[in-house]
Structure 1
Amino acid sequence: MSRQALIVWGGWDGHQPDQVADIFAGVLREEGFEVTVSDTLDSFKDEALMAAQDLIVPIWTMGTIEKEQLRPLLDTVKAGCGIAGCHGGMSDAFRNEVEYQFMVGGQWVAHPGNDGVRYEVNMTSSDDPLTKGIGDFEVSSEQYYMHVDPAITVHATTTFADYGSVKMPVVWTKTWGEGRVFHNTLGHQANIVAMPQTLELMRRGFLWAAREA
Structure 2
Amino acid sequence: MSLVQPKALVVRGGWEGHQPVEATDSFLPFLEHHGYSVRVEGSTEVYADAAEMAATDLVVQCVTMSEITGEQVAGLRAAVEAGTGFTGWHGGIADSFRASSDYLHLVGGQFATHPGKEPCERQGGPEDNFLPHTVNLTELGREHPVTAGIEDFELVTEQYWVLHDDLIDVLATTTHPPQAWHPWHRPVTCPAVWTRHWGAGRIVVTTPGHSLDVLEHPAVRTVIERGMLWATRTASAS
Could you say which TM-score interval applies, normalised by the shorter chain? over 0.9
Task: Give per-residue Cα distances to partners, 1:157-207, cap 9 Å, x unaligned.
Answer: 111111522221100011112211110111112221121111100111111
Alignment of 1:81 onto 2:84 = yes
Q: Counterpart of 2:18?
A: 15
Tell me if structure 2 keeps the 8 A contact 1:21–1:37. Answer: no
Amino acid paired to 2:198: W
1:35-74 alignment, distance < 5 Å: 35-74=38-77
Shift of residue 45, structure 1, vs aligned partner: 2.3
Shift of residue 212, structure 1, vs aligned partner: 5.9
Shift of residue 49, structure 1, vs aligned partner: 1.8
Q: Counterpart of 2:203?
A: 181
Highest CA radius of gyration, 1 or 2?
2
Percent identical residues = 42
2:166 to 134, 145, 150: 150
Name the count of aligned residue pairs.
213
1:1-213 alignment, distance < 5 Å: 1-113=4-116, 114-125=128-139, 126-162=142-178, 163=184, 164-211=186-233
Moved over 4 A (4+): none
SS of match in other structure, 1:150: coil
Amino acid paired to 2:193: V
Shift of residue 112, structure 1, vs aligned partner: 0.4
Task: Please give the alpha-carbon distance, in whole angstroms, between the structure 1 residues aligned to 2:219 and 2:234.
Answer: 20
Note the aligned Cα RMSD (angstroms). Answer: 1.5
Tell me if structure 2 keeps the 8 A contact 1:54–1:82. Answer: yes
Shift of residue 132, structure 1, vs aligned partner: 1.6
